């Protein structure tokens, strides 16, 4: 069910627990693909962080734009792991998470290559997590790098909640001007993968990203597994980052390809939790709800790609069913 405003869990301050015995260690994992200058800006913002107990690890999905080589030249302290091919977002993150687990780090911070972080963001997230032992995943408030027409900051994320369709999220004020009000930490259903602090102890219990998601919804799947296992998901609005969402990774793929990935990930999410017929029904319901939103905002090109991807998926499943009966 959707939590209404009165049911949100708000804390006036961090939960009262003993101070951590030692400084928490964090590995920052950046899954990269054709990152260009945005990747370099992301690293610069992390290196300006007030939290010093971090290690920056880039997992490259076979970029060919020279951004990884340039990053290695400019930032000697970073660590780079290269995949021989584009393994997808979740698989790249998992490789970095595995390294953090081997190091016995306290947390993994996943950061998209097309983001920059405020100097205090990492410290604020870690401080909250250190004082909230049940927090398995913690995220910051996210603003768009492309402001409103009047120059005001544009809000992308300050908490997301499930609806009757888990993949159709309720995201208050998404795309609107940021109120700039100071808000306390808030318990949420989902933290988005472009900026999420993950507790390594929780990952050891519930597992990492499902590699069945090439891109889209692997973050929602992980948050769902976290909360079902008794861990909590939180947003800390005082911690701030910026997200571009128009970087080289998106530009290098067609709109048709991206919508196909989104629809296939939708089916995979639902099929993990129900039968294939029910999963396909829920996929159609989710894409139908998204179609209404796209039409309302006059994104007719995207609407066409969404319909096409859904029809292709249905035809593919029908063919598979016919083959099973033979």
Which one of 249, 278, 297 terminates a domain?
249
pLDDT value, residue 324: 56
pLDDT value, residue 10: 43
Q: Which domain holds residue 307?
A: 254-325
Q: Are residues 195 and 90 in the same domain?
A: yes
Q: Are residues 197 and 292 in the same domain?
A: no
Q: Are residues 165 and 213 in the same domain?
A: yes
Q: Are residues 281 and 320 in the same domain?
A: yes
Q: What 3 state SS string does 53-109 have?
A: CEEEEEEECCCCCCHHHHHHHHCCCCEEEECCCCCCHHHHHHHHHHHHHHCCCCEEE
Pairwise CA distance, residues 286 & 280, whole Å: 10
pLDDT digits (tens, 9 = 90+) for 40-75: 999 999 999 999 888 999 999 999 999 999 999 999
Residues 159 and 137 sit within 8 Å (Cβ to Cβ):
no
Arithmetic mean of pLDDT, 303-315: 92
Q: Are residues 273 and 209 in the same domain?
A: no
Q: Are residues 164 and 292 in the same domain?
A: no
pLDDT value, residue 297: 87
pLDDT value, residue 252: 57
Element (H, E) at 141: strand 135-144
Planar angle of CA 263, 264, 265, nearest 5 degrees: 90
Q: Are residues 258 and 202 in the same domain?
A: no
- 3 pLDDT band, cuts 50/70/90, is very low
Mean pLDDT lowest among 134-148, 246-260, 297-311: 246-260
Expressed in angstroms, the distance from the first to the final Cα of the chain is 42
Which one of 229, 249, 269 terminates a domain?
249
pLDDT at 249 over 90: no
Arithmetic mean of pLDDT, 248-266: 81
pTM equals 0.89
Q: Are residues 127 and 259 in the same domain?
A: no
Arithmetic mean of pLDDT, 110-136: 97
Q: Are residues 287 and 205 in the same domain?
A: no
pLDDT digits (tens, 9 = 90+) for 162-195: 999 989 999 999 999 998 888 999 999 999 999 9
pLDDT value, residue 53: 84
Average pLDDT of every residue of the chain? 89
Arithmetic mean of pLDDT, 286-306: 93
- 250 pLDDT band, cuts 50/70/90, is low
pLDDT at 313 over 80: yes
Q: Are residues 225 and 143 in the same domain?
A: yes
* Number of domains within the chain: 2
Q: Are residues 60 and 170 in the same domain?
A: yes
- 320 pLDDT band, cuts 50/70/90, is confident
pLDDT value, residue 12: 39
Mean pLDDT lowest among 201-210, 246-255, 289-298: 246-255
Planar angle of CA 231, 233, 238, nearest 5 degrees: 140
Q: Write the CATH number for 117.
A: 3.90.550.60
pLDDT at 97 over 70: yes
Which one of 249, 268, 288 terminates a domain?
249
Q: Are residues 241 and 267 in the same domain?
A: no
pLDDT value, residue 101: 95
pLDDT at 275 over 90: yes
């Amino acid at each position: 069910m959707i939590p209404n405003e009165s049911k949100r869990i708000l804390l006036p301050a961090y939960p009262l627990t003993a101070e951590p015995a030692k400084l928490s260690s964090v590995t920052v994992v950046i899954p990269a693909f054709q990152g260009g200058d945005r990747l370099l800006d992301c690293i610069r913002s992390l290196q300006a962080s007030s939290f010093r107990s971090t290690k920056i690890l880039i997992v490259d999905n076979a970029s060919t734009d020279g951004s990884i080589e340039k990053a290695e030249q400019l930032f000697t302290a970073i660590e780079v792991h290269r995949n021989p091919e584009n393994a997808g977002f979740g698989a790249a993150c998992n490789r970095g998470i595995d390294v953090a687990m081997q190091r016995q780090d306290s947390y993994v911070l996943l950061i998209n290559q097309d983001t920059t972080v405020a100097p205090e963001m990492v410290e604020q997230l870690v401080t909250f997590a250190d004082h909230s032992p049940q927090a398995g995943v913690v995220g910051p408030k996210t603003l768009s790098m492309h402001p409103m027409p009047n120059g005001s900051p544009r809000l992308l994320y300050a908490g997301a909640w499930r609806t009757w369709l888990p993949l159709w999220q309720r995201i208050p004020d998404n795309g609107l001007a940021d109120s700039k009000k100071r808000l306390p930490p808030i318990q949420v259903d989902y933290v988005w993968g472009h900026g999420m602090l993950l507790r390594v102890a929780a990952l050891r219990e519930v597992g990492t990203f499902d590699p069945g998601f090439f891109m889209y919804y692997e973050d929602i799947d992980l948050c769902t597994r976290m909360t079902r296992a008794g861990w909590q998901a939180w947003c800390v609005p005082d911690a701030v980052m910026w997200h571009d969402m128009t970087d080289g990774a998106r530009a290098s793929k067609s709109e048709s390809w991206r919508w196909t990935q989104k629809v296939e990930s939708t089916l995979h999410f639902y099929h993990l939790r129900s039968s294939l017929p029910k999963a396909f029904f829920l996929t159609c319901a989710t894409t139908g709800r998204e179609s209404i939103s796209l039409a309302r905002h006059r994104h007719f090109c995207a609407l066409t790609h969404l319909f096409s991807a859904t029809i292709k998926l249905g035809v593919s499943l029908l063919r598979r069913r016919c083959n099973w009966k033979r």
